[in-house]
Chain A
């Protein structure tokens, strides 16, 4: 069974500083997803990482994937208040029926001035 773990569970950030969220998964997966969720809202897709060494960037967020280490990171550069949200990573198991996504527990990010 695929397990996905994120850490930290909570991240208090200072504006202007850099931070990293880690996502480990237990078995081989062929793609890794990052989502953002604002309180009480839906999940918004941020990145889809398809292969080892993949790196994607959007604004202050950059995600990378190391399939050998079964690790993805979400790096936040020069945090700003608007980035306060909960971030989820998710993975799917190769060739599993339906290819459902298994989510990590989420990292709640609070950016303080």
Chain B
């Protein structure tokens, strides 16, 4: 157990629907990163939050949004889902806004999203 908790582990939903993925960072970590892993795109950075504020944005679609709450857990909202959104979504955390020199990120076990 890495200490980063993601729920749910699996999600199957229909096109056009909306889902919410949840991430609880490792205790003491202030920064949360979301990544999408698909077969054709590899690991793509979506967005980062640090202590409740958005810090960096990557290739995140306008249909996707995220937030980090006062208790530091984060949610990734995916709406108007398309077949191509099927992927593994990983959350990672680190203590500071920057990857720690000796540890980098700690990844959660991921949420596998299947859009049918």
**Majority secondary structure of chain B interface residues (helix, strand, loop or mixed):** strand
User: What's the nearest-Cβ distance from chain A to residue B60, in Å?
Assistant: 12
**Size range of the interface on B?**
20 to 34
List the count of A-B residue pairs having beta carbons below 8 Å apart: 63
Q: Which residues of B contact A (CB under 8 A)?
A: 2, 33, 35, 42-43, 45, 48, 50, 55-56, 58, 90, 92, 97-99, 101-110, 112
Task: Please list 12 pairs of residues, one from A and one from B, whose beta carbons are closer than 8 Å in the complex, sorted by A's number.
Answer: A31-B99, A31-B101, A42-B110, A45-B105, A50-B101, A97-B56, A98-B97, A99-B97, A100-B45, A105-B42, A106-B42, A106-B43
Known contacts A42-B2, A43-B107, A102-B45: does B55 contact A97 (CB below 8 Å)? Answer: yes
Query: Is A101 within 8 A of B104, CB to CB?
Result: yes
- B residues in contact with A35, CB < 8 Å: 107
User: What's the nearest-Cβ distance from chain B to residue A97, in Å?
Assistant: 5
Contact of B99 among A33, A41, A44 (CB under 8 A): A33
A92 within 8 A of B: yes
